[in-house]
Structure 1
Amino acid sequence: MKKHLLAAAAAVALTLPLSAGVFAQQAPAEHHHPQFSAEDHAAFTDAKVAALKAGLKLTPAQEKNWPAVETALRDIAKARAARFAEVKDKMKDIHEHRSVIEGLQLRSKGLAARAVETEKLAEAAKPLFDSLDEAQKRRFAILLHTIAKGPHHGHEFGGPHEGPEHD
Protein backbone atom coordinates (compact mmCIF):
# COMPACT_ATOMS: atom_id res chain seq x y z
CA MET A 1 0.00 0.00 0.00
CA LYS A 2 2.77 2.45 0.95
CA LYS A 3 4.58 1.62 -2.29
CA HIS A 4 1.50 2.50 -4.35
CA LEU A 5 0.95 5.74 -2.43
CA LEU A 6 4.59 6.72 -2.90
CA ALA A 7 4.40 6.00 -6.62
CA ALA A 8 1.14 7.96 -6.92
CA ALA A 9 2.68 10.89 -5.06
CA ALA A 10 5.68 10.79 -7.39
CA ALA A 11 3.35 10.78 -10.40
CA VAL A 12 1.48 13.81 -9.08
CA ALA A 13 4.73 15.60 -8.26
CA LEU A 14 5.96 15.03 -11.79
CA THR A 15 2.95 16.84 -13.22
CA LEU A 16 3.43 19.98 -11.13
CA PRO A 17 5.04 22.99 -12.81
CA LEU A 18 8.77 23.08 -12.24
CA SER A 19 8.68 26.81 -11.68
CA ALA A 20 7.15 26.26 -8.23
CA GLY A 21 9.12 27.39 -5.20
CA VAL A 22 10.53 23.88 -4.72
CA PHE A 23 13.16 24.71 -7.31
CA ALA A 24 14.07 28.15 -6.06
CA GLN A 25 17.82 27.73 -6.49
CA GLN A 26 18.48 29.12 -9.94
CA ALA A 27 21.42 28.81 -12.30
CA PRO A 28 23.17 31.90 -13.61
CA ALA A 29 20.78 34.31 -15.32
CA GLU A 30 21.82 33.32 -18.84
CA HIS A 31 20.54 29.77 -18.34
CA HIS A 32 17.37 30.38 -16.27
CA HIS A 33 17.35 26.78 -15.06
CA PRO A 34 17.69 25.17 -11.64
CA GLN A 35 20.98 23.57 -10.68
CA PHE A 36 20.69 19.83 -10.11
CA SER A 37 23.32 17.55 -8.64
CA ALA A 38 24.02 13.99 -9.78
CA GLU A 39 22.03 12.84 -6.74
CA ASP A 40 19.11 15.03 -7.81
CA HIS A 41 19.16 13.56 -11.31
CA ALA A 42 19.26 10.01 -9.90
CA ALA A 43 16.35 10.74 -7.55
CA PHE A 44 14.26 12.24 -10.34
CA THR A 45 15.03 9.29 -12.59
CA ASP A 46 13.94 6.88 -9.86
CA ALA A 47 10.71 8.82 -9.35
CA LYS A 48 9.96 9.02 -13.07
CA VAL A 49 10.54 5.32 -13.66
CA ALA A 50 8.41 4.43 -10.61
CA ALA A 51 5.64 6.78 -11.75
CA LEU A 52 5.54 5.24 -15.22
CA LYS A 53 5.38 1.73 -13.84
CA ALA A 54 2.74 2.61 -11.24
CA GLY A 55 0.63 4.42 -13.81
CA LEU A 56 0.62 1.42 -16.13
CA LYS A 57 -0.74 -0.95 -13.45
CA LEU A 58 0.99 -3.90 -15.09
CA THR A 59 -0.39 -7.40 -14.86
CA PRO A 60 1.92 -10.21 -13.75
CA ALA A 61 2.24 -11.32 -17.40
CA GLN A 62 3.21 -7.77 -18.47
CA GLU A 63 5.74 -7.41 -15.63
CA LYS A 64 8.19 -9.72 -17.45
CA ASN A 65 8.63 -7.05 -20.16
CA TRP A 66 9.18 -4.18 -17.72
CA PRO A 67 12.92 -4.66 -16.90
CA ALA A 68 14.01 -3.88 -20.48
CA VAL A 69 12.03 -0.63 -20.45
CA GLU A 70 13.38 0.38 -17.06
CA THR A 71 16.96 -0.34 -18.13
CA ALA A 72 16.54 1.69 -21.32
CA LEU A 73 15.08 4.65 -19.42
CA ARG A 74 17.89 4.56 -16.85
CA ASP A 75 20.55 4.24 -19.55
CA ILE A 76 19.11 7.26 -21.37
CA ALA A 77 19.10 9.31 -18.18
CA LYS A 78 22.73 8.40 -17.43
CA ALA A 79 23.90 9.12 -20.97
CA ARG A 80 22.06 12.42 -21.06
CA ALA A 81 23.58 13.50 -17.74
CA ALA A 82 27.04 12.60 -19.03
CA ARG A 83 26.48 14.57 -22.26
CA PHE A 84 25.17 17.54 -20.34
CA ALA A 85 28.23 17.54 -18.06
CA GLU A 86 30.55 17.24 -21.06
CA VAL A 87 28.90 20.12 -22.92
CA LYS A 88 28.77 22.23 -19.77
CA ASP A 89 32.51 21.73 -19.21
CA LYS A 90 33.31 22.62 -22.83
CA MET A 91 31.12 25.68 -22.65
CA LYS A 92 32.91 27.05 -19.58
CA ASP A 93 36.02 27.63 -21.68
CA ILE A 94 34.57 28.55 -25.03
CA HIS A 95 31.16 30.07 -24.25
CA GLU A 96 32.12 33.61 -25.19
CA HIS A 97 34.19 32.52 -28.18
CA ARG A 98 31.98 29.75 -29.53
CA SER A 99 31.17 30.04 -33.18
CA VAL A 100 27.85 29.22 -34.75
CA ILE A 101 29.51 26.20 -36.35
CA GLU A 102 30.73 24.86 -32.99
CA GLY A 103 27.22 25.27 -31.64
CA LEU A 104 25.75 23.38 -34.59
CA GLN A 105 28.30 20.60 -34.16
CA LEU A 106 27.52 20.22 -30.45
CA ARG A 107 23.80 20.15 -31.21
CA SER A 108 24.26 17.63 -34.00
CA LYS A 109 26.25 15.33 -31.74
CA GLY A 110 23.57 15.51 -29.05
CA LEU A 111 20.74 14.87 -31.49
CA ALA A 112 22.53 11.88 -32.99
CA ALA A 113 23.03 10.37 -29.54
CA ARG A 114 19.38 10.99 -28.69
CA ALA A 115 18.25 9.32 -31.91
CA VAL A 116 20.17 6.17 -30.98
CA GLU A 117 18.77 6.25 -27.43
CA THR A 118 15.22 6.79 -28.66
CA GLU A 119 15.51 3.81 -30.99
CA LYS A 120 16.82 1.65 -28.13
CA LEU A 121 13.89 2.74 -25.96
CA ALA A 122 11.44 1.94 -28.75
CA GLU A 123 12.95 -1.53 -29.17
CA ALA A 124 12.93 -2.18 -25.42
CA ALA A 125 9.38 -0.89 -24.97
CA LYS A 126 7.77 -2.63 -27.96
CA PRO A 127 7.14 -6.01 -26.28
CA LEU A 128 5.65 -4.30 -23.23
CA PHE A 129 3.62 -1.83 -25.29
CA ASP A 130 2.24 -4.62 -27.49
CA SER A 131 0.99 -6.41 -24.37
CA LEU A 132 -0.83 -3.37 -22.95
CA ASP A 133 -4.57 -2.82 -23.25
CA GLU A 134 -5.85 0.42 -24.82
CA ALA A 135 -6.12 2.27 -21.50
CA GLN A 136 -2.57 1.29 -20.56
CA LYS A 137 -1.29 2.36 -24.00
CA ARG A 138 -2.93 5.75 -23.57
CA ARG A 139 -1.39 6.14 -20.09
CA PHE A 140 1.99 4.96 -21.38
CA ALA A 141 2.01 7.71 -24.02
CA ILE A 142 0.88 10.39 -21.57
CA LEU A 143 3.24 9.34 -18.78
CA LEU A 144 6.24 8.95 -21.07
CA HIS A 145 5.61 12.44 -22.46
CA THR A 146 5.18 13.82 -18.94
CA ILE A 147 8.35 12.27 -17.55
CA ALA A 148 10.28 13.35 -20.62
CA LYS A 149 10.01 16.93 -19.43
CA GLY A 150 13.06 16.86 -17.21
CA PRO A 151 14.06 19.47 -14.67
CA HIS A 152 15.95 21.38 -17.34
CA HIS A 153 13.00 21.48 -19.74
CA GLY A 154 15.04 19.42 -22.17
CA HIS A 155 13.44 16.10 -22.84
CA GLU A 156 15.36 13.42 -21.08
CA PHE A 157 13.68 10.57 -22.88
CA GLY A 158 13.63 11.81 -26.43
CA GLY A 159 12.87 15.52 -26.74
CA PRO A 160 14.35 18.20 -28.93
CA HIS A 161 16.96 20.04 -26.86
CA GLU A 162 20.54 19.25 -25.92
CA GLY A 163 23.22 21.18 -24.13
CA PRO A 164 23.24 23.89 -21.49
CA GLU A 165 21.80 26.49 -23.80
CA HIS A 166 18.61 24.44 -23.94
CA ASP A 167 18.78 22.32 -20.78
Structure 2
Amino acid sequence: MPMGPMMQGRGMPGSMMGGPGRRMMGWFSPEDMNAFIDAHIAAIHAGLKLNADQEKLWPPVESAMRNLATLHLGHMQAMRETPRMMTGDPVGMLRAVADRMSQGADAMRKLADAASPLYATLDEAQKRRLQVLVRMGSRAMMGRRMMGPGMMGSGGGMMDDDDEDSP
Protein backbone atom coordinates (compact mmCIF):
# COMPACT_ATOMS: atom_id res chain seq x y z
CA MET A 1 0.00 0.00 0.00
CA PRO A 2 0.62 2.91 -0.14
CA MET A 3 3.61 4.59 1.28
CA GLY A 4 6.44 6.40 -0.39
CA PRO A 5 7.83 9.88 0.05
CA MET A 6 4.46 11.42 0.88
CA MET A 7 3.80 8.80 3.54
CA GLN A 8 7.24 9.36 4.94
CA GLY A 9 6.78 13.12 4.88
CA ARG A 10 9.52 13.75 2.33
CA GLY A 11 8.21 16.72 0.49
CA MET A 12 4.87 17.61 -0.88
CA PRO A 13 4.50 18.03 -4.62
CA GLY A 14 2.35 21.02 -5.49
CA SER A 15 0.11 18.83 -7.56
CA MET A 16 -1.20 17.10 -4.44
CA MET A 17 -2.81 20.29 -3.23
CA GLY A 18 -4.54 21.19 -6.43
CA GLY A 19 -2.02 22.67 -8.85
CA PRO A 20 -2.22 22.14 -12.60
CA GLY A 21 -1.09 18.53 -12.27
CA ARG A 22 -3.63 17.54 -9.61
CA ARG A 23 -3.37 13.97 -8.41
CA MET A 24 -6.05 11.66 -7.07
CA MET A 25 -6.18 13.14 -3.60
CA GLY A 26 -7.57 16.30 -5.19
CA TRP A 27 -10.07 14.44 -7.32
CA PHE A 28 -11.47 11.70 -5.13
CA SER A 29 -13.25 11.64 -1.80
CA PRO A 30 -11.96 9.62 1.17
CA GLU A 31 -14.69 7.08 0.38
CA ASP A 32 -13.37 6.77 -3.16
CA MET A 33 -9.82 6.33 -1.89
CA ASN A 34 -11.00 3.63 0.52
CA ALA A 35 -12.69 1.85 -2.38
CA PHE A 36 -9.42 1.99 -4.35
CA ILE A 37 -7.54 0.61 -1.35
CA ASP A 38 -10.05 -2.24 -1.09
CA ALA A 39 -9.65 -2.95 -4.80
CA HIS A 40 -5.86 -2.84 -4.62
CA ILE A 41 -5.73 -5.24 -1.68
CA ALA A 42 -8.25 -7.55 -3.37
CA ALA A 43 -6.19 -7.50 -6.58
CA ILE A 44 -3.02 -8.45 -4.72
CA HIS A 45 -4.83 -11.23 -2.89
CA ALA A 46 -6.43 -12.59 -6.05
CA GLY A 47 -3.26 -12.27 -8.10
CA LEU A 48 -1.18 -14.22 -5.61
CA LYS A 49 -3.43 -17.28 -5.91
CA LEU A 50 -2.52 -18.39 -2.41
CA ASN A 51 -2.70 -22.05 -1.45
CA ALA A 52 -4.53 -23.14 1.72
CA ASP A 53 -1.46 -22.85 3.94
CA GLN A 54 -0.55 -19.43 2.54
CA GLU A 55 -4.15 -18.26 2.91
CA LYS A 56 -3.80 -18.62 6.69
CA LEU A 57 -0.95 -16.09 6.59
CA TRP A 58 -2.91 -13.49 4.60
CA PRO A 59 -5.14 -11.81 7.28
CA PRO A 60 -2.28 -10.07 9.16
CA VAL A 61 -0.86 -8.82 5.86
CA GLU A 62 -4.20 -7.42 4.79
CA SER A 63 -4.71 -5.79 8.18
CA ALA A 64 -1.27 -4.17 8.11
CA MET A 65 -1.86 -2.94 4.55
CA ARG A 66 -5.16 -1.39 5.59
CA ASN A 67 -3.61 0.22 8.65
CA LEU A 68 -0.81 1.74 6.57
CA ALA A 69 -3.24 2.99 3.93
CA THR A 70 -5.54 4.48 6.59
CA LEU A 71 -2.60 6.26 8.17
CA HIS A 72 -1.53 7.59 4.78
CA LEU A 73 -5.03 8.85 3.98
CA GLY A 74 -5.20 10.52 7.39
CA HIS A 75 -1.93 12.31 6.72
CA MET A 76 -3.14 13.44 3.31
CA GLN A 77 -6.40 14.73 4.77
CA ALA A 78 -4.53 16.59 7.51
CA MET A 79 -2.28 18.25 4.92
CA ARG A 80 -5.33 19.22 2.93
CA GLU A 81 -6.95 20.81 5.97
CA THR A 82 -3.85 22.73 7.09
CA PRO A 83 -2.13 23.97 3.92
CA ARG A 84 -0.98 27.20 5.56
CA MET A 85 1.15 25.33 8.06
CA MET A 86 3.17 23.99 5.16
CA THR A 87 4.29 27.50 4.20
CA GLY A 88 3.70 29.67 7.27
CA ASP A 89 5.39 27.71 10.04
CA PRO A 90 8.57 25.98 8.88
CA VAL A 91 9.41 24.66 12.36
CA GLY A 92 5.90 23.32 12.82
CA MET A 93 6.10 21.77 9.38
CA LEU A 94 9.36 20.03 10.31
CA ARG A 95 7.76 18.63 13.44
CA ALA A 96 4.69 17.45 11.54
CA VAL A 97 6.84 15.84 8.85
CA ALA A 98 8.96 14.11 11.50
CA ASP A 99 5.83 12.81 13.21
CA ARG A 100 4.44 11.50 9.90
CA MET A 101 7.75 9.86 9.10
CA SER A 102 7.85 8.11 12.48
CA GLN A 103 4.26 6.94 12.19
CA GLY A 104 4.83 5.77 8.63
CA ALA A 105 8.02 3.95 9.56
CA ASP A 106 6.25 2.14 12.39
CA ALA A 107 3.38 1.14 10.11
CA MET A 108 5.80 -0.05 7.42
CA ARG A 109 7.70 -2.15 9.95
CA LYS A 110 4.41 -3.72 11.00
CA LEU A 111 3.59 -4.47 7.37
CA ALA A 112 7.05 -5.96 6.81
CA ASP A 113 6.66 -8.07 9.95
CA ALA A 114 3.22 -9.26 8.84
CA ALA A 115 4.30 -9.90 5.25
CA SER A 116 7.53 -11.73 6.01
CA PRO A 117 6.02 -15.14 6.91
CA LEU A 118 3.78 -15.09 3.83
CA TYR A 119 6.50 -13.82 1.52
CA ALA A 120 8.79 -16.64 2.66
CA THR A 121 6.24 -19.18 1.37
CA LEU A 122 5.65 -17.60 -2.05
CA ASP A 123 7.02 -19.36 -5.10
CA GLU A 124 8.87 -17.42 -7.80
CA ALA A 125 5.73 -16.91 -9.91
CA GLN A 126 3.83 -15.48 -6.93
CA LYS A 127 6.74 -13.16 -6.09
CA ARG A 128 6.85 -11.95 -9.68
CA ARG A 129 3.09 -11.31 -9.69
CA LEU A 130 3.31 -9.55 -6.33
CA GLN A 131 5.92 -7.18 -7.67
CA VAL A 132 3.74 -6.25 -10.64
CA LEU A 133 0.49 -6.02 -8.66
CA VAL A 134 1.95 -3.74 -6.00
CA ARG A 135 3.67 -1.55 -8.56
CA MET A 136 0.50 -1.24 -10.64
CA GLY A 137 -1.68 -0.43 -7.66
CA SER A 138 0.63 2.12 -6.10
CA ARG A 139 1.10 3.99 -9.35
CA ALA A 140 -2.58 3.96 -10.15
CA MET A 141 -3.56 5.20 -6.70
CA MET A 142 -0.86 7.77 -6.05
CA GLY A 143 0.64 8.44 -9.44
CA ARG A 144 4.16 7.73 -10.61
CA ARG A 145 6.90 9.29 -8.55
CA MET A 146 4.82 9.15 -5.38
CA MET A 147 6.07 5.77 -4.24
CA GLY A 148 9.42 5.23 -2.60
CA PRO A 149 11.98 2.49 -2.98
CA GLY A 150 11.09 -1.10 -2.29
CA MET A 151 9.99 -2.02 1.18
CA MET A 152 11.70 -5.39 0.99
CA GLY A 153 14.86 -4.24 -0.72
CA SER A 154 15.72 -3.60 -4.33
CA GLY A 155 13.76 -5.93 -6.54
CA GLY A 156 12.25 -7.53 -3.45
CA GLY A 157 8.69 -6.94 -4.27
CA MET A 158 6.38 -5.47 -1.70
CA MET A 159 6.70 -1.83 -2.73
CA ASP A 160 9.53 -1.72 -5.22
CA ASP A 161 9.74 1.23 -7.59
CA ASP A 162 12.98 0.97 -9.49
CA ASP A 163 11.88 3.45 -12.17
CA GLU A 164 12.80 1.09 -15.01
CA ASP A 165 10.22 2.83 -17.13
CA SER A 166 11.17 6.36 -16.16
CA PRO A 167 12.33 8.82 -18.77
- Please classify the TM superposition score into its range, dividing by the shorter chain length: 0.5 to 0.7
Q: Which amino acid aligns with 2:74?
A: A
- The gaps in structure 2 that reach 5 residues or longer are 1-15, 152-158, 160-167
Q: What aligned pairs does 1:17-166 form with structure 2 within 5 A after superposition?
A: 28-29=18-19, 32-34=22-24, 35-91=27-83, 93-99=84-90, 101-149=91-139, 151-153=141-143, 154-155=146-147
Instruction: Pick closer, same or farther for the CA change 1:108–1:145 going to 2, 3 Å.
Output: farther
Aligned Cα root-mean-square deviation (Å): 2.7
Paired residues of 2:48 and 2:126 also in contact (CA < 8 A): yes
Superposed displacement of residue 90, structure 1: 2.0
CA displacement, residues 95-120 of structure 1 (integer Å, 9 cap, x when unaligned): 55233x33333322222111111100
Superposed displacement of residue 82, structure 1: 1.2
Q: Distance in 1 between matches of 2:29 and 2:138?
A: 18
Q: Number of residues paired by the alignment? A: 132
- The gaps in structure 1 that reach 5 residues or longer are 1-25, 160-167
Which TM-score applies when normalising by structure 1? 0.67
CA displacement, residues 108-144 of structure 1 (integer Å, 9 cap, x when unaligned): 2222111111100011111111111122122223322
Identity of aligned residues (%): 33
Q: Distance in 2 between matches of 1:47 and 1:60?
A: 22
Query: Max radius of gyration: which structure?
Result: 1
Which TM-score applies when normalising by structure 2? 0.67
